[in-house]
């Protein structure tokens, strides 16, 4: 066999001349193919041409498929040509074979195993492994793979299918066939290949025997010395590389700069964030879009990560009848639904409304019912109309149907909800929509492999295609900076290159042989990733190539990754080390700093909102003063501006819901019992019945607002829990001195510090002496310290006390209703009114009342004056507050600590 490296070399100028005469240029990847097209076009323009024929430049795999399909179009159906499977078809076939095999139950991840098997099949053919001859020596995994491969081959034979692993052999066979109708070009130029598999070597050798001339593209450049720089971590490397590139472009706008990153797949998001921050700082603004960035990343991201596709999948997932609350929110706020712009406000309110119930899922019927309420602020007529059509289309769905029929339904469902929205799409979004249609077509092509699927399986198949499709929108203009992985940098044509991340853990990369092929065989035949020696040799070749890929080369490596130290790759140790100070890098300010630099900042203390109209009662009751004590801004925002945090879904019951259940159950129970005498005299059975009824009634109240959470099973569990809790609690009430229940949740007006409130005590008991005890139920842990200080944590009971005729109140009590920690806690005028209550002397009581009156008056006056300073009582206040994004306390704290640092530094 003729070794590829013995084929003659050809430079760029001669390559372009050969292309003009019909030569075929095969590149190792898409990026290089695109680049050759661009350079060829520029060369034609430089010659003064205005039109020219498109040159034959293709990535290797694309050309094989294209050639085969051309041959198919000219082949008579009677010749029974094989159908070439596409990638999703092959993948599905492997999955199907594994699902049908007896080993299926031992595998956790069938799709991942199918991918490994598909890869092993490809390597087997590309590297001509003599696999079948060694069957007695091979491991169990390989034996299993060989069985799957046998079935795969049989399926292909039976159905006359051709897979991509064997496509080069089939094209080679056709090319020497006397019946071939598509001639192979007389000259083929190969560009960017670091190595050739035996299959490729055979292919090209065969072509040379058919008088095809094979040439190897060679880009010789003037090389200056490459340098090496150590930087603290990867983020710093990316930042300095971006600033270096910016500086070079500012000096010479015509430069072409490459940035090569071995771990690009893992670092893609960080790279985008840092490069945007440096080249397009305005990208942080909401809704920012630029069709032309200064850089292009050759590695696309999975199609499923694009917001348009995410919305499409949400719609399709909703065909199951429910979606999680988080996903419903994303759907309602998506701009890619019909009339999204027109109804964006009411859909946002609808999202907030549904969150109020904190159900983890929302049913289609519930969303529809809410969207249709005409008098509500969340009324969404256009959405409800679309949801009705959508719902009707889901009726009488077949349980199973072919992928192509599902594809039609998917498209129809998206249409019904108005996807991709009413606003005109930008170039990137438009390309994403086209990519979506292509993915749906690929899914529809699975008919040949999977004649019939259930809805869920169909959706999973489509999702896997979207996850597996890497997509990078093309920009219209050529961009000066190309960011790429090491394998894509082959034969690149740059003025300067920065290669980052070459530390000893990734370069050379650790071996990762295919687990389904015998390891010895992989090593013997030198398969990619088979051994450390193979990886070292490969990394050496690539490094050598990269070091001659541009006149100016900077190579960097990080010194740290989390807690571990990193060293430079041994392959770059020979390069001259330089320091950061010697590099020419652009000075870049963050966008916020850029804006601030252009402005004169005037500090204004603004702690007051408008004062309160005294005649108007304010909403919030005791919670108002509780919030004012916790943080004046919180009280102002919640009770004056009516700002609310968005509720988060919770699985099961949140603390707030549990508290409501206990409050309701105790109220229902005491409505029946009425006094302590009944409690202590009724039989155990009777008490249990009353408790059960009260618990059941409380659960019914919650079920009305949270039907999805309160399933029959959940209700049974809650019923049991509540009954036990109530029975345990009643022991406390049995131990108290005689009382009857006077009021339950009784509202009463109160004027304090110039504001009018309505307050409501959980329970007021009357003692034998006619005096009263005020009780506040709590399910959290309590302490009497919560009543102390200028800004008490729990001012409710002091407020009730102040609101009543002080002389008639004998005790104020917290009731801590918690399993295993049941207790009354409070203060009383006499010992023995309730367990755990401290008796206070009359003088002490009077003193306490005066103190509370002063504190509560002061808080109420603050409210009346509109005092709204962002001064939380302590960090605990902010922990449970839903408004940090409104008050921006984080930024205030940052400023304070910055001022403190500046002060300490000066």
Footprint of ligand SF4 on this chain (CB under 6 A)?
630-631, 633-634, 870, 872, 877-878, 881, 883-884, 887, 889
Shortest distance, position 653 Cβ to ligand SF4, whole Å: 24
- How would you classify residue 373: left for phi > 0, otherwise alpha for psi between -120 and 50, otherwise beta? beta
Which residue lies nearer to ligand SF4 by CB, 573 or 656?
A: 656
Of the pair 632, 649, the CB lying nearest ligand SF4 is at 632
**C-beta separation of 469 from 463 below 8 A:** no
- Tokens at residue 285, please? 């603004």
Which lies closer to ligand SF4 via its Cβ, residue 228 or residue 634? 634
The least distance separating ligand SF4 from the CB of residue 643, rounded to whole angstroms, comes to 9
Smallest separation, CB 623 to ligand SF4 (Å): 13
Query: Based on CB atoms, which residue is closest to ligand SF4, 526 or 882?
Result: 882
Q: Is 410 left (phi over 0), alpha (psi -120 to 50) or beta?
A: alpha
Residue with tokens 């409050």: 663
Give CA–CA dist 472/470, Å, rounded: 7
For CA atoms 722, 723, 728, 729, give the dihedral sign: positive
Helices (H) and strands (E) in the chain, counts: 32, 28
Closest separation in Å from C-beta 351 to ligand SF4? 22
CB of 870 to ligand SF4, least distance (A): 5
Per-residue exposure over 132-149, b if at least 16 CB sit within 10 Å of its own CB, e if not: eeeeeebeebbebbbebb
Do residues 829 and 842 lie in contact, with contact meaning Cβ atoms separated by under 8 Å? yes
Nearest to 548 by CA among 509, 485, 494: 494
Q: Residue 837: CB partners within 8 Å, gap ≥ 6? A: 811, 813, 824, 825, 826, 827, 828
Task: Give the HSE-up count for residue 859: Cα atoms under 13 Å, Cβ half-sphere.
Answer: 31
Of 188 and 883, CB closest to ligand SF4: 883
Nearest to ligand SF4 of 816, 877 (CB atom):
877
Judge contact between 111 and 118, C-beta under 8 A.
Answer: no
Nearer to ligand SF4 (CB atom), residue 580 or residue 641: 641
| Shortest CB 892 distance to ligand SF4, Å | 8
Q: Tell me 638's DSSP state.
A: I
Helices (H), 674-764: 676-681, 684-705, 712-734
Quick one: 765 or 862, whose CB is closer to ligand SF4? Answer: 862
**Alpha-carbon separation of residue 611 from 265, 351, 864 (angstroms):** 56, 32, 6
Three-state helix/strand/coil letters over 90-118 = HHHHHHHHHHHCCCHHHCCCHHHHHHHHH
Least separation in angstroms between CB 627 and ligand SF4: 8
Rounded distance, CA 808 to CA 812, Å? Answer: 11
Could you give the 3-state DSSP secondary structure of residue 695? helix
For ligand SF4, give the closer residue by CB, 26 or 889.
Answer: 889
Nearer to ligand SF4, 266 or 896 (CB): 896
Asked if residue 240 lies in contact with residue 585, where contact means CB atoms within 8 angstroms, the answer is yes
Q: What are the CA-CA distances from residue 384 to residues 332, 338, 342, 417 (Å)? A: 12, 11, 13, 10
Name the minimum Å distance from CB 852 to ligand SF4.
23
Q: Rank residues 50 and 880 by Cβ distance to ligand SF4 and give the closer one.
A: 880
Nearest distance from residue 625's CB to ligand SF4, in Å? 15
Q: Which is nearer to ligand SF4, 325 or 631 (CB)?
A: 631
Task: Closer to ligand SF4 by CB, 321 or 890: give it.
Answer: 890
Pairing relationship of beta strands 295-297 and 361-363 according to DSSP bridges: unpaired
DSSP string, 40-102: HHHHHHHTT-S--PPPEEEEHHHHHHHHHHHHHHHS-GGG-PPEEP-HHHHHHHHHHHHHHST
Q: How far is the CB of 468 from ligand SF4 (least distance, A)?
A: 43
Q: Minimum CB separation from ligand SF4 for residue 647, in Å?
A: 16
> With respect to ligand SF4, which residue has the nearer C-beta, 308 or 889?
889
**CA end-to-end span of the chain:** 76
Contact between 758 and 747 under an 8 Å Cβ cutoff? The reply is yes
Chain centroid to CA 315: how far?
Answer: 17
Q: Which is nearer to ligand SF4, 496 or 631 (CB)?
A: 631
CB of 862 to ligand SF4, least distance (A): 14
* Closest CB 612 distance from ligand SF4, rounded Å: 18
* Cβ 646 to ligand SF4 shortest distance, Å: 14
Closest CB to ligand SF4 among residues 228, 626: 626
Q: How far is the CB of 633 from ligand SF4 (least distance, A)?
A: 5
Query: How far apart are alpha carbons 625 and 641 in whole angstroms?
Result: 15
- Cα 641 vs. chain centroid, distance in angstroms? 32
869-895 b/e with 16+ CB inside 10 Å = b?
ebbbbeeebbeebebbebbebeeeeee
What the block records as the tokens of 260 is 């090569």
Least Å distance, CB 638 to ligand SF4, is 8
By beta-carbon proximity to ligand SF4, the closer residue of 117 and 887 is 887
CB of 635 to ligand SF4, least distance (A): 9
Phi, psi of 129 (to 5 degrees): -75, 130
Q: How far is the CB of 721 from ligand SF4 (least distance, A)?
A: 32
Are 191 and 26 in contact, with CB atoms under 8 Å apart?
Answer: yes
What residues pair up with 578 in beta bridges, in sequence order? 229
Exposed, middle or buried, 178 (CB in 10 Å: 0-12/13-18/19+)?
exposed
Q: What is the CA radius of gyration of the chain?
A: 37
Tell me whether residue 411 or residue 865 sits nearer to ligand SF4 (CB atom).
865
Cis peptide before 247 (omega within 30 of 0): no
């Amino acid at each position: 066999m003729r070794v590829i490296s013995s084929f003659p070399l050809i430079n760029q100028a001669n390559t372009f001349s050969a292309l003009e005469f019909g030569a075929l240029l095969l590149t190792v990847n898409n990026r290089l193919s695109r680049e050759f097209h661009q350079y060829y076009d520029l060369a034609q323009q430089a010659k003064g041409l205005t039109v020219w024929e498109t040159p034959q430049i293709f990535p290797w795999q694309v050309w094989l498929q294209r050639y085969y399909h051309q041959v198919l179009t000219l082949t008579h159906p009677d010749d029974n040509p094989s159908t070439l499977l596409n990638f999703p078809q092959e993948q599905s076939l492997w999955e199907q074979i594994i699902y049908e095999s007896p080993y299926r139950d031992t595998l956790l991840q069938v799709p991942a195993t199918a991918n490994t098997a598909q890869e092993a099949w490809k390597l087997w053919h590309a590297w001509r492994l003599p696999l079948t001859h060694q069957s007695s020596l091979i491991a169990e995994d390989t034996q299993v793979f060989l069985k799957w491969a046998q079935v795969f081959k049989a399926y292909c034979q039976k159905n006359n299918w051709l897979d991509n692993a064997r496509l080069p052999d089939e094209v080679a066979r056709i090319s020497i066939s006397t019946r071939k109708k598509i001639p192979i070009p007389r000259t083929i130029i190969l560009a960017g290949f670091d190595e050739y598999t035996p299959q490729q070597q055979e292919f090209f050798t065969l072509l040379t025997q058919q008088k095809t001339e094979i040439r190897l593209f060679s880009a010789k450049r003037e090389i200056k010395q490459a340098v090496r720089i150590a930087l603290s971590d990867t983020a710093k490397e990316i930042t300095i590389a971006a600033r270096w590139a910016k500086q070079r472009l500012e000096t010479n706008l015509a430069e072409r700069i490459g940035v090569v990153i071995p771990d690009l797949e893992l670092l893609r998001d960080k790279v985008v964030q840092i490069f945007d921050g440096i080249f397009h700082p305005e990208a942080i603004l909401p809704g920012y879009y630029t069709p032309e960035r200064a850089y292009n990343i050759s590695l696309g991201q999975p199609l499923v990560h694009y917001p348009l596709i995410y919305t499409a999948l949400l719609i399709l997932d909703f065909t199951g009848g429910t979606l999680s609350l988080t996903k419903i929110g994303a759907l309602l706020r998506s701009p890619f639904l019909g009339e999204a712009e027109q109804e964006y406000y009411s859909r946002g309110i609808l999202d907030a409304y549904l969150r109020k119930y904190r159900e983890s899922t929302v049913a289609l019927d519930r969303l529809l019912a809410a969207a249709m309420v005409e008098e509500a602020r969340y009324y969404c007529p256009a959405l409800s109309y679309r949801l009705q059509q959508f719902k009707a289309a889901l009726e009488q769905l077949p349980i199973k149907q072919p992928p192509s029929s599902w594809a039609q339904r998917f498209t129809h469902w998206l249409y019904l909800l108005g996807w991709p929205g009413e606003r005109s799409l930008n170039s990137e979004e438009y390309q994403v929509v086209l990519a979506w249609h292509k993915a749906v077509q690929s899914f529809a092509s699975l008919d040949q492999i999977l004649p019939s699927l259930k809805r869920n399986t169909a959706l999973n198949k489509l999702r896997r295609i979207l996850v597996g499709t890497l997509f990078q929108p093309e920009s219209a203009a050529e961009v000066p900076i190309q960011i790429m992985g090491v394998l894509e940098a082959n034969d690149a044509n740059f003025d300067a290159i920065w290669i980052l991340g070459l530390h000893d853990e990734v370069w050379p990369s650790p071996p990762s042989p295919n687990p389904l092929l015998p390891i010895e065989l992989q090593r013997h035949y030198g398969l990619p990733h088979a051994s450390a020696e193979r990886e070292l040799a490969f990394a050496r070749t690539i490094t050598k190539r990269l070091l001659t890929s541009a006149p100016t080369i900077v190579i960097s490596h990080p010194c740290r990754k989390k807690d571990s130290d990193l060293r430079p790759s041994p392959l770059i140790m020979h390069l001259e080390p330089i320091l950061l100070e010697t590099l020419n890098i652009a000075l870049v300010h963050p966008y916020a700093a850029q804006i601030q630099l252009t402005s004169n900042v005037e500090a204004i203390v603004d702690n007051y909102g408008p004062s309160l109209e005294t005649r108007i009662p304010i909403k919030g009751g005791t919670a108002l003063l509780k919030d004012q004590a916790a943080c004046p801004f919180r009280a102002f925002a919640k009770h004056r501006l009516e700002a609310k945090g968005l509720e988060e879904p919770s699985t099961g019951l949140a603390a707030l819901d549990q508290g409501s259940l206990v409050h309701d159950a105790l109220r229902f129970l005491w409505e029946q019992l009425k006094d302590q005498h009944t409690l202590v005299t009724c039989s155990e059975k009777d008490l249990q019945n009353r408790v059960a009824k009260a618990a059941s009634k409380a659960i019914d109240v919650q079920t009305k607002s949270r039907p999805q959470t309160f399933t029959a099973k959940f209700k049974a569990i809650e019923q049991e829990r509540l009954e036990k809790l109530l029975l345990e609690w009643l022991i406390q009430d049995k131990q108290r001195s005689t009382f009857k229940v006077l009021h339950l949740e009784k509202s009463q007006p109160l004027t304090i510090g110039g504001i009018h409130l309505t307050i409501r005590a959980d329970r007021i008991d009357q003692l034998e002496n006619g005096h009263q005890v005020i009780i506040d139920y709590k399910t959290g842990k309590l302490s009497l310290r919560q009543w102390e200080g200028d800004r008490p944590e729990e001012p409710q009971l002091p407020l009730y006390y102040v609101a009543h005729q002080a002389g008639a109140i004998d005790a104020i009590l917290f009731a801590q209703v918690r399993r295993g920690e049941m207790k009354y806690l409070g203060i009383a005028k006499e010992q023995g009114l309730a367990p755990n209550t401290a008796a206070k002397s009359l003088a002490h009581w009077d003193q306490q009342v005066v103190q509370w009156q002063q504190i509560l008056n002061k808080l109420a006056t603050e409210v009346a004056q509109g005092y709204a300073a962002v001064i939380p009582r302590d960090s605990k206040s902010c922990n449970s507050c839903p408004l940090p994004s409104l008050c921006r306390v984080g930024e205030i704290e940052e400023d304070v600590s910055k001022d403190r640092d500046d002060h300490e530094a000066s």
